[in-house]
Amino acid sequence: MAKPKVAFYWCASCGGCEEAVVDLAEDILKVVEKVDIVFWPVAMDFKRRDVEGLGDGELAAVFINGAIRTSEQEEMAKLLRRKSRLVVAFGSCAYLGGIPGLANLSSKDAVFETVYKKVPTVVNPEGVVPRTETDVDGFKLKLPDFYDGVRTLAQVIEVDYFLPGCAPPPDLIMEAINKILTGELPEKGSVLAPEKSLCDTCPRRDSKPDKIKISDISRIAYKKIDTDKCFLAEGIICLGPATRSGCGERCINANMPCRGCFGPTREVLDQGGKFLSGLMSIVDTQDEEEIKRIADSVIDPVGLFYMYSLPYSLRMKFLK
């Protein structure tokens, strides 16, 4: 019997999600035994025309990582959607917008200005920036359009399942692949990770008081804390209360607070907003000046509270 065909593709991402697939190590052999990988540009020499040659719905599943920033990424996402019975948004950038989504704080022109003109290592006396079409010796060179903003995959195509993480951990990847192969999938639109918050599974949860009160916010680089102490109770911002579990508490175990890469739990609409309101409720003062001092001590609040979820957030949805 012919094996089900699957594909992997990457959009605006760092490549870490591709590494996560490679990190399956010998488990990747178990996957290859059961499926035919017919498109995986980062690892195998397939071309776009190979995907175009497939019948509609011929792929059993496609795993797309990365957010959508360019016209090429949008075209490929739409093409793969047509060819595949299931689409999995693989990793935080596809699911939430991820780190590339923080570029939504700047305009396209500002991004080009910085990247192609202002950074000290760039030499560009003519101020050339990428264009979709350039004439060179009578030929037209074409580049994909760089859009004004970054979108999540589900803001561009219909997505069946979401696999969170930066990058998704191997056990969740294997679990997702097995569920697809056996057909034991949850309700369409589900996030393929536990419903609990990270605080519920955190090895430091016993040191988290029922009612936290903080009078200062510290940065992990400037404060030494015991490896069994709750970061938040020590005044260090940890997004665990607003973040879905399932990552294996990777950062916590490395003595780093959570930055929210697994995205919000089902009940939370806006991960950054939820954390921010929770944070302000544990500040141990009613004095307005003091509240302002504590709030101002958070460096880059948007970058911190929405590190992985800016395009997904309520704010960006209202802006659309």
Residue 3 interacting with ligand SF4 (CB under 6 A): no
Segment near ligand SF4 (CB under 6 A); pick from 25-33, 125-133, 255-263, 288-296: 255-263
Residue 274 interacting with ligand SF4 (CB under 6 A): no
Nearer to ligand SF4, 15 or 57 (CB): 15
Among 153, 230, 268, 283, binds ligand SF4 (CB under 6 A): 230
Nearer to ligand SF4, 66 or 257 (CB): 257
Among 34, 118, 250, 317, binds ligand SF4 (CB under 6 A): 250
Residue 240 interacting with ligand SF4 (CB under 6 A): yes
Q: Compute the least distance from the CB of residue 169 to ligand SF4, in Å.
A: 8
Nearer to ligand SF4, 16 or 66 (CB): 16
Please state at what angle helix 170-182 crosses helix 27-34, rounded to 10 degrees. Answer: 20
Of 78, 90, 14, 7, residue with least CA distance to 43: 7
* Contacts by residues 141-144 (CB-CB < 8 Å, ≥ 24 positions apart): 144/70, 144/71, 144/72, 144/73
**Could you tell me which residues come within 8 angstroms of residue 62 by beta carbon, excluding any fewer than 6 positions away?**
6, 7, 8, 9, 39, 80, 81, 83, 84, 86, 87, 88
Residue 214 interacting with ligand SF4 (CB under 6 A): no
Residue 312 interacting with ligand SF4 (CB under 6 A): no
Report the interface residues with ligand SF4, using CB under 6 A: 166, 198-199, 202, 204-205, 208, 230-232, 238, 240-241, 243, 247, 249-252, 257-262
